Chain A
Amino acid sequence: MTDETPSTDPQRRRFTGLTRRKTSSKVRVIDRVARWVIAVGGIGTIVAVLLVCVFLVSVAIPLFRSARTDSERTIAAGKSDSPPLQMGVDEFRLLGWTLSVDGQLQGFKLHDGQPLGEPQAIRSEDNDQAAAMTCCAVAIDFKCKKSFEDLPNGTAKVCMFGFADGSVRLGAIGYKTTFLDDSAVDPAIRALKVADEALEFQGGMVQRTPTGQLRLQQLVKMLDPRTPPVSDSPIEQIDFSLRVEGENAQPIFVARSANGNITLNAVKKRLNLITDESTITVNSSSVPLPTGVSGKPLRTLISGDGDNLFLLWKDGTLVRYEMAESEPPQQVERISLLPRGVELSAATMVLGKRTIMVGDSAGGMSTWCRVNEMDSTRTHLEKTHEIHGLNSPITALCCSPQSRAMAVGDAAGNVQVVYDTSERVLSRVAAQGGSAIRTLLISPKEDELLADNQAGITRWDLDIAHPEVSLRTLVRPVWYESAPQSSHVWQTTGSTDDFEPKFGLWPLIFGTLKATFYSLLFGVPLALMAAVFTSEFLHPSVRARVKPMVETMASLPSVVLGFLAGIVIAPVMETIVPASIAAIVTVPLAFMLGAYLWQLLPIHLAIQYRRFRFACMLLLLPLGLLLAKYLGPSIEQRMFGGDLRLWLSRPEIGSGTPGWAIILLPLSAAVTFLLISLIVHPLLRNVSRGWTRTQAALVDLLKFVSGICITLVLALILGWMLTIIGFDPRGSHAGSSWALVGTYVQRNALIVGFMMGFAIIPIIYTLADDALNTVPSHLRSASLAAGATPWQTLVRIVIPTAMSGLFSAVMIGLGRAVGETMIVLMAAGSTPIMDMNIFNGFRTLSASIAIEMPEAARGTTHYRILFLAALVLFAMTFVVNTAAEVIRQRFRRRAYEL
C-alpha cells in the first residue's frame, strides 16, 4: 500500500517509468492558505466565544476597586488667621470659595489657589454697619430650592447664616454660568481651545466646552432679607432644613445663642404681590434643656424633614426631641453615644439628614439612625454602622452631596474617605503640614476632595469608584437607613434624590434557586420516568413517533411559555388552586389504580391486549384530572374552611394540620410503602402459594387501597402532632419569611415550576433516553434470560448502568432552569423577596438583568452589579454543565467498555 501511495517527492521515479507530475504550486498555495484561514478563523472563533467570560469579569471587577485620591496639591487659599468655616467647589472644578469665620466670602482659582475678585462680607444687612456673621449652616445636597430659582443650573449651596444681633438670613452661594459670544471677548480668551486650562475673566473662570462654546463661571451669593432677631445675644450655632410646602420651601431652623438658649424657629416668607416685597416672619419656640448635662451642646442638628431635633454634648450624650406641627419640641429620647472615657469631637448628618454620623476623640466613627420598633409606631436611635481607621481625635466630617460617602479628618492631619452603609474605608491620605483638619469638602460630582488645615488647603483628585458595594454587602445582610434590622435587599431605583440603592445579590440568587428547585421538583421525575417508559416499555414504532413530539416541546420559544404562564395560566390557576394541588396526588394515583385493575385481567387477555396498555394510560389522565376537580373543592370545603386562599393568607383561620398533611404526604407514602414491603409482603409471600393470579391481584388492589388510607391517616396524624407542638406551615406568625406556604400571589413559584417544566422536560427526557439507549442490549438480554422481569431488569441492570448518564441529564436540565429568563420574567411577579412560600413570587438573576440592564447607565455601580449578576449566572451554569459533561463522558466510556 505504501508503495502505491504517490509520494510528494518529485525526484522519485515511479516503477511504472512515468515521471511523477509535480504538485502544482496553485494547489499548494491554496492548501497553505486554507490551513491558515481555518486555523486563524477557528482559533479566533473559539477565543471569541471564550471572551464572553473574560469580558464579564473585566466589567465586574472594578466594583471592588478602592477609591483613588491623587494629584495632591497644596493651594494657599486658606488664611491661618481666619480659618474657613465652609468651602465650596463648582461642578467643573474651576473655582472654589471659602467662607471664613469672620464672614468673608472669598473665591479662588482651584488649580493654584489665587484669589478671584475681592472678598465679600456677609452681614445681617447689606451695609457695612450691620451685624457680623457668627455662624453658618449648609444644606447637604446642592439642589437649589424654589426660593433661589434666579440662580441658574441649580448648583448653589443653600446656606443659613446667623449674626451677632441674633437674626438669621437664608442665602445661597453658587455659580452663575454664562456663555460668551466669541466676538465680544479678548483675543487671548478667544484663542482658548477645547481642553485648554481655564482663564480668569471678569472675576470668574472661562473655559471652552467640548461643543466649542466659551463658558464663564462666576461666584455669586444671594441672600434673603434677615429675619427678626430670635435671640438677644449672638447666634453661635445653627442648623436648618427646608420643608417643601407646595411651591415654596419653608426653612425651619434651630439656633443656639451665646447665652445658652436654644430656639426652634419656623420661617414664613410671604410675597406681597402688589409691592413685590417679601415679608419674613419667624415662629419661635424655646427648646427645654434636659437636666443633668453640663455645658453647652457641641452640636445642634435638625433632621431633613424638620421633625426631629438632636442636641449632642461633648460627653457623648444625645438628646432627641420630636416636633409636631406648631407645638414646642418634646424630649423623647436620651442616649449616650460613646463609651466612658471617649469624648465626642465631631458630628454631622448624612445625605437625606436622617442619619447622624459622629466622630470621637479616639478616632472612631459611628452612624446612628432612627429605626422603627417592632410592632409599634415608635422609633428610637440605634447604632447602625461603625467605621475605624483613624487614631487621633476626629476634627472634621463632611458628607458627599451625592451619596453616603463621607470625608473624615483627624487631629494629625489625616483624611479618610469612608462609606457609611458598606462600612468601607475607601481611601486614606495625609494633608500637608500634619496639623488638625479644620474643614473638609467633597465636590458635587465626588471628583475633588479638599481639606483645610493650618498649612492651607490641600486638594486631591478623587475617584470614588463604587463605594456602596463590597463583597460583604453583596451577600451578607446590610443595615440600611431606617430599616429595623440588617437584611438582604435588592432595590435599585427609588423615587427621591437621596434614595440609596440597595444591592444585595442574595435575594436574586435565592429567587434563581427557588425557581430551579420547584421546576426540577416537577420536571425531573416526569422527564426521567417518561424517558424510562419510552426507552424500555414502548414499542419502537410508537417510540419513533412519541419522541419527536416531546422534543417539539424544546423548540417552543420561552417567551411563548412565559406569555402562557403569566397571562393565561396564572389567572386560571388562581381560581382552581385546590383542584390543581389535588391533581398532583390524584393523577399518579389514577395511573396506579389503572395498573392494579390491569393486573386483574386474566393473563391471556393481558398479553393479548398489551398494545392497548398505552392507550389505557392515555385515558387515565382525564380520569385523574376529573377526580382532582371533584376532590379539590370538597377538600377545600372540609379542611380549609371553604377558602384555601383565605386559609393560606391568614394563619388564624383553621389549623395547620391539613396543610402539614398535604406537605407530608410524600413522606407518609414512603413510610407506608416501607411498612407494607417489610411486613405485609413476607406474610403474603407465604400465604399466596396456590393462589391464582386474579386472587393475588385482588389482594394487591386491596393492599393499594388500604395503603392509600394508611398514608392519609398517617399524614393527618403527623400534621396534627406538628400543629400541637406549635408549628404551622404558614409560619408561626403572619409574614414569617420561612413559612412553607403562605399568601397566594397570582404569579408564583408553582406556576413557574409548572411552566419551566416545559422548558426542561424535553432536554432531560432526550438526554435520559439517549443514556438508557446506550446501555448495551446484551445486558438486558442476559437479565431477561436469567428470568428477571423487564421491571427487574430495568431497576437492577439498566438504571444502575445508566445512572451517571441520567444524572448528567438532570444536571443539564438544572443548567437550563437556572438561566431561564422569559418565563420567570413574565410569571414570577419579579418581587425580590426571600420567601420559601411556594405561592409567592420571586425575582431571579436573569429577570433582574433583563428588566434593569436597559436602564442602567454605562459604568455605574448598577451596571457593573448587573454584569456581576450575569457572571454569577455564567459561573453557575458553567460549573453545572461542566460537571454534567465530565460525568457524561465518563459514563460513555464505561458504557463502551461493557
Chain B
Amino acid sequence: MSSDVVPRFVNQPPDIRPPRARVRARKIAAHATLLAHGEPMVWLTGGSLVVALMMVAGLVGLVVSQGVATFWPTPLVQLRTLDGSVILGEDTRQETYKPSQRVFADLLEQIKPQVRAALDADQPLDRAGSVLGVLEPDVVKLALQQRGESDKASDTLVNSLAEKILAHAKRKLAADGSAVRRSYRTGNFEINQTHFRWVNDFAVLEHQQPPWALLLERMEQGRFYGFPSAFVVDDAVVATEPADVWNKFQEFHAASRQRLAKKVDLATDEVGAINRRAEALRLMANKVKLDYGADSPQYQLASQRQATGEQADAADNARIEAEIAELNRENNRYQMRFKTAEGQESTQVVADIVRAVPANQLTLAGKWGVYFSRWHEFLFDVPRNANSEGGVFPAIWGTVVMTLVMTLLVVPFGVLAALYLREYAKPGLLTSAVRISINNLAGVPSIVFGVFGLGFFCYVLGAGVDRTFFPASYAANQPVFSTGGLMWASFTLALLTLPVVIVATEEALTAVPNSMREGSYACGASKWQTIQRIVLPRALPGIMTGTILAMARGAGEVAPLMLVGVVKIAPDLPIDRVFPFVHPQRSFMHLGFHIYDVGFQSQNAEASKPLVYTTTLLLILIVATLNIAAIWLRGRLRRKFVSVQF
C-alpha cells in the first residue's frame, strides 16, 4: 500500500495493539471488529459497480461484435438432411434445445419415403444398402435377406430401416437429450417463401462447401443462393461452365450496373423535373383562379400556359420513357441462369444483381474486398428492398444535417439566454425560479417536446407559413410546411436541447472569475466589450461542451422525431440539385428511426437484424464521439480554469 493514499481509502484497522505503554489495552472482541468493517456490505457495493460496468461492457461489446461482423462473408454451406432436402445457405446462429418426441415422429415420417425411394431404385444391393448413406451396408443387406429380395420395399422393411436411421441420428444427441439446431439463411424468397431455415444438427447427413455456390445480393427480394448454370446473352447461352459463367458475369456486370444507375438518374431527375414543372404550372393556374376568378383573362392565359406546358412535358416524357425503355431492353439482354440447391432453375437479370459473392472461393484479400465493398455500400448508398438491405446514406445524411441545423438554432439562443441570466438579469427570486425551471426542462420527456413540435410548429406555425406563402397549395389541401419536416424537427430538437446549452453556458460563465471582469471594467471596457473580449473567450470551451452535449442528445433522440417529420423512406434529400436547392419542409430519414423501423416494424426482422446492428453501431459511434469530445473539452476547460485562477 502506498503511503500517499488519502486516509479515507484506508480500509483496514490500524494496528490496535498499543505500544508498550502503561495504558491498559482494551480487549477487543475479534468478531465485533469484523462486523465493524462491514466487509460483506462493501463487497456488495463493489459488486453493484461491477454489475453496472459489466452491463455497459456487455452491451457495447454485443453491438460492436455483431455490428463489425455483419459484413464479413461467411462460407456457403450445402447440407443434405435426413428428410431428403438439400439446403444451401449461410450459418447464422445456433441454439441448444430439447427436441420433443414429435420432432422425431415427424422426422421418421419424412425418412420413410426416402428409404422407399432408395430401395425401389433398382440398384445393386450394397449401394442401395447404405440407404441415405447412414447405415452400414451389412445392416441393410441383413435386413433385406430377412425379408427376401422380392418385397424390397415392403412396409415392415421400410419401417425398420427408417427406425434404425432415426436411432442413428438420435445417437448424436447430447446425454441429456438436448440437440443443437442452426438457423441457415437460405434466401431465394420467391421460391421458398422464407429467408431462414432451422436445421437440426442430428438430421444432417452431408455437410459441404461447394466451390461454385454463389451468393447474390439483389435489388429486390433479398438474397439468392445457387449454382451458376449458364450465362445468357439475347436468349442465347454463351457459357455453361461455372468458371466461364463467372467470367462472363464479371465482364458484363459493371456495364449493366452503370446502365441501371443511368436509368435511375433519368427516372428521378428528369421525370421528377417534368413532374415538378407540371405541378408548378397547375398550382400557378390555381392561384390565378383564386386571385382573379375563373372568368378572368388572367386565368385563361394561365390555363393556356398550363396546356402548352403539358404538351411540352408530354413530349419530354415520351423521349425519356423511350430512353429508359432502351436501357431496360439492353439490360434485359444479359441474364444468368442458376440452379438452386433443391434443383430448381432460376434466371436472374445481371443488372439486378448488386453483388455476387463466390464465398467459398474467396481468398483472405477477397473477403476483405467484399467486406469493405459492403461497408461502402452501407455508408454511401440508398436503402433497397424495403429498407432491409442496402445502405443508410439518406439516414446518415438526415441525422447529420438535422443535428447541424439544430445546433445552429440552439447555440445562439442558448448563449443569449445564459448571458442574460448570468450577466444582465438582476439576481433574485425570479431568476432563480427561472433557473430551476430551465434545469427541470432538461428532464422533461422528449416525447412531450415532440407533441409540442407537432402541435405548435407544424399545425400552427406551419399552417401560417402555408397560408401566407403557399396559398394555392393550402387551398388544395397539400401541406408544404404544415406537416412534419426537417425544419420543424430541428426546431423541436433545438427546444429540447436548449436547457442543456443554457445550463452548460451558465456554468461556464460562472466559472469565469469575477476578478477578470473587474479588471476589464477597470481598464475602461464597456459591459459588452468585457463580455465579448474577456468573458466569452474564457467561457467558450464550456459553451462548446454544452453544444456538443446538446448535439449528442439531439442525434440520439428518436421519439419526438417520430411526430415531426421522420419517415421510413424519404425519396428526396432535403438538399439537392433542384431549385431552391434547400427544402427544409421535406421529411427525412434518421438513423435512430431506421433502427426502430427496420428492427421493429419490418416484415423480415430476422434477415434485417444484422443491418440493424450495424446501424446501431454507427449511431453509437456518432453519439459516443460527440460525448467523448465533450468530456475531453470539459477536462481541458477545467485545467484551463485551474491555471487562470488568481
| Interface of A toward B, CB cutoff 8 Å | 4-6, 23, 27-28, 30-31, 34-35, 37-39, 41-46, 48-52, 55-56, 59, 182, 210-212, 525-530, 532-534, 536-540, 546, 548-553, 555-564, 566-568, 575, 587-588, 590-592, 594-596, 598-599, 603, 606-608, 610-611, 613-614, 617-618, 620-621, 681, 684-693, 695-697, 699-700, 704, 757-758, 761, 765, 777, 780-781, 784, 788-793, 795, 812, 815-816, 818-822, 825-826, 846, 849-850, 853-854, 858, 866-867, 870, 873-874, 877-878, 880-882, 885-886
Cβ–Cβ contact B48 & A792, under 8 A: no
Indicate if the CB atoms of A567 and B605 lie closer than 8 Å: yes
List chain B residues, Cβ under 8 A from A552.
56, 60, 624, 627
Q: Is the interface of B mostly helix, strand, loop or mixed?
A: helix
**Which residue, B33, B417, B421, B612, has most C-beta atoms of chain A within 10 A?**
B417
Q: Does the CB pair B44–A821 fall under 8 Å?
A: no
Let me know if B526 and A691 touch, CB within 8 A: no
Q: Which of B509-544 contact A (CB under 8 A)?
A: 521-522, 524, 526-529, 531-532
A697 (CB) vs chain B CBs: closest residue: B34
Asked whether A42 lies within 8 Å of B40 as measured between CB atoms, the reply is no
Contact A822 B558 (CB under 8 A): yes
A35 CA / B40 CA spacing, docked (Å): 60
What would 8 more interface pairs be, CB under 8 Å, given A559-B556, A598-B43, A792-B36? A31-B526, A529-B48, A587-B47, A591-B50, A599-B34, A599-B39, A784-B10, A791-B41
Q: Is the CB of B55 within 8 A of A758?
A: yes
Partner of B592, one of A557, A758, A816: A557
> Which of B36, B57, B559, B619 has the most chain A CB within a 10 Å cutoff?
B559
Taking A560-B63, A699-B31 as contacts, is the C-beta distance between A34 and B558 under 8 angstroms?
Answer: no
Which chain A residues lie closer than 8 Å to B445 at the CB level? Answer: 818-821, 846, 873-874, 877
Contacts of A34 in B (CB 8 A): 527-528, 531-532
The digit string for B25-60, where 1 denotes a CB below 8 A from any CB of A, is 001011111111111111111111111111111011
- Which of A5, A555, A614, A758 lies in contact with B556, CB distance below 8 A? A555
Of the residues B6, B55, B420, B609, contact of A553 by C-beta under 8 Å = B55
- Nearest to A592 among chain B residues (CB) is B40
Is B7 in contact with A52, judged by CB distance below 8 angstroms?
no
**Contact sample, A vs B, 6 pairs, CB 8 Å cutoff:** A46-B420, A55-B455, A557-B620, A591-B46, A850-B562, A885-B440
Tell me how many residue pairs across A and B have CB atoms closer than 8 Å: 400
Instruction: Select A563's contact among B52, B439, B459, B600, beta carbons within 8 Å.
Output: B600
CA–CA, A824 to B557, complex, Å?
14
B115 within 8 A of A: no
Q: List residues of chain A with CB within 8 A of the CB of B595.
A: 559-560, 563
Does the CB pair B452–A553 fall under 8 Å?
A: no
Which of B228-236, B250-258, B271-279, B430-438 forms contacts with chain A?
Answer: B430-438
Known A-B contacts A559-B592, A791-B38, A850-B563; A878 and B631 likewise in contact (beta carbons under 8 Å): no
Smallest distance from the beta carbon of A136 to chain B beta carbons, Å?
Answer: 39
- B residues within 8 A CB of A820? 445
B141 to chain A, nearest CB (A): 44
- Distance A136 CA – B274 CA, assembled complex (angstroms): 58
Residues of B within 8 A of A182 (CB): 294-295
Contacts of A210 in B (CB 8 A): 475
Contact B36 A789 (CB under 8 A): yes
- Cβ of B599 within 8 Å of any chain A Cβ, yes or no, is yes
Is B420 touching A563 in the complex (CB atoms < 8 A)?
Answer: no
Distance to closest chain A CB from B442 (angstroms) = 8
Q: Which residues of B contact A621 (CB under 8 A)?
A: 47, 50-51, 54
Taking the nearest CB of chain B, how far is it from the CB of A124, in angstroms? Answer: 46
> How far is B40's CA from A566's CA once the two chains are assembled, in angstroms?
35
Inter-chain CA distance A27–B524, complex, in Å, is: 11
Q: Are B56 and A553 in contact (CB under 8 A)?
A: yes
B64 within 8 A of A: no
**How far in angstroms is the closest Cβ of chain A from B612?**
6
Residue of B nearest to A214 (CB): B294
- Residue of A534, A596, A700 near B31 (CB, 8 A) is A700
Determine if B261 is an interface residue (Cβ-Cβ < 8 Å). no
In the complex, chain B residues whose CB is within 8 Å of the CB of A211: 475-476
Q: How far is the CB of B553 from chain A (nearest CB, A)?
A: 9
Q: Are B528 and A758 in contact (CB under 8 A)?
A: no
Tell me the B482-519 residues at the A interface (CB within 8 Å): 495, 498-499, 502
State the Cβ distance, A365 to closest chain B Cβ, in Å. 36
Residue contact A35 to B424, C-beta cutoff 8 Å: yes
Residues of A close to B420: CB separation below 8 A: 38-39, 41-43, 46
Chain A residue numbers with a CB within 8 Å of B45 are 529-530, 532-533, 537
CB-CB under 8 A from B52, the residues of chain A are: 526-527, 530, 550, 553, 761, 765
CA of A591 to CA of B46 in the docked complex: distance in angstroms?
8
> Taking CB as reference atom, which chain B residue is nearest A889?
B436
With A46-B417, A212-B294 known to touch, is A592 a contact of B44 (CB < 8 Å)?
Answer: yes
Report if B451 contacts A (CB, 8 A): yes
Q: Report if A791-B36 is in contact (Cβ < 8 Å); known contacts: A56-B448, A881-B443.
A: yes
A560 touches B620 (CB 8 A): yes
Shortest Cβ distance from residue A547 to the other chain B in the assembled complex, whole angstroms: 10
Chain B residue with Cβ nearest A703: B31
Q: Confirm or deny: B1 has a beta carbon within 8 angstroms of a beta carbon on chain A.
A: yes
B8 touches A780 (CB 8 A): yes
C-alpha gap A46/B594 in the complex (Å): 33
Is there contact, CB below 8 Å, between A557 and B623? yes
Residue on B nearest A8 in the bound complex, by CB: B524
**Closest CB of chain B to A848's CB: distance in Å?**
10
- A194 → chain B, closest Cβ, in Å? 9
Distance in Å from the Cβ of B154 to the closest Cβ of chain A?
41
Which parts of B402-429 form the interface with A (CB within 8 Å)? 412-414, 416-421, 423-425
Residues of A within 8 A of B48 (CB): 525-530, 533
A816 lies within 8 A of B63 (CB): no
Q: B364 on the interface (CB 8 Å rule)?
A: no
The answer, among B441, B449, B529, for a CB contact under 8 Å with A27, is B529
> B11 contacts which chain A residues (CB < 8 A)?
537, 610, 789-790
Q: Which one of B443, B562, B600 has the greatest number of beta carbons of chain A within 10 Å? A: B443
Instruction: Tell me the complex Cα distance, A383–B609, Å.
Output: 53
Q: Which residues of B contact A866 (CB under 8 A)?
A: 451
CB pair B10–A790 under 8 Å, yes or no, is yes
Whether A556 contacts B59 in the complex (CB less than 8 A), given A533-B45, A793-B8, A882-B440, comes out as yes
Q: Is B13 in the interface zone, CB < 8 Å from A?
A: yes
Are B527 and A31 in contact, with the CB atoms below 8 A? yes
B451 near A700 with CB under 8 A, answer no
* Contact of B121 with A by CB under 8 A: no
CB within 8 Å for A533 and B49 given contacts A562-B596, A567-B612: yes
| Bound CA–CA A593/B443 (angstroms) | 39
B596-A822 in contact (CB<8A)? yes
A527, A529, A812 — most chain B CB neighbours (10 Å): A529
B289 within 8 A of A: yes
Contact: B424 with A592, CB < 8 Å? no
Contact partner, A607, options B1, B33, B438, B447, Cβ 8 Å: B1
User: What chain B residues lie within 8 Å of A548 (beta carbons)?
Assistant: 631
**Nearest opposing residue in chain B for A52, CB measure:** B452
Minimum C-beta distance from B491 to chain A (A) = 10
Q: Is the CB of B39 within 8 A of A598?
A: yes
Residue of B nearest to A781 (CB): B7
Among B31, B444, B476, find the residue whose CB has the most chain A CB atoms closer than 10 A: B31
Whether a CB of chain A sits under 8 angstroms from the CB of B642 is: no
Residues in A whose Cβ lies below 8 Å from that of B32 = 685, 688
From residue A30, how far is it (CB to closest CB) to chain B in Å?
Answer: 6
Complex Cα distance A826/B616, Å?
A: 15
* CB atoms of A48 and B451 under 8 A apart: no
**Known A35-B528, A45-B413, A525-B48: A558·B37 in contact at CB below 8 Å:** no
Q: Are B12 and A777 in contact (CB under 8 A)?
A: no
Minimal beta-carbon separation of B507 from chain A (angstroms) = 13
**B9 beta carbon closer than 8 Å to chain A:** yes
Task: For the complex, give the distance between the alpha carbons of A608 and B29 in Å.
Answer: 23
- Report whether A781 and B450 are in contact in the complex, using a CB–CB cutoff of 8 Å: no
Question: B62 at interface (Cβ–Cβ under 8 A)?
Answer: yes
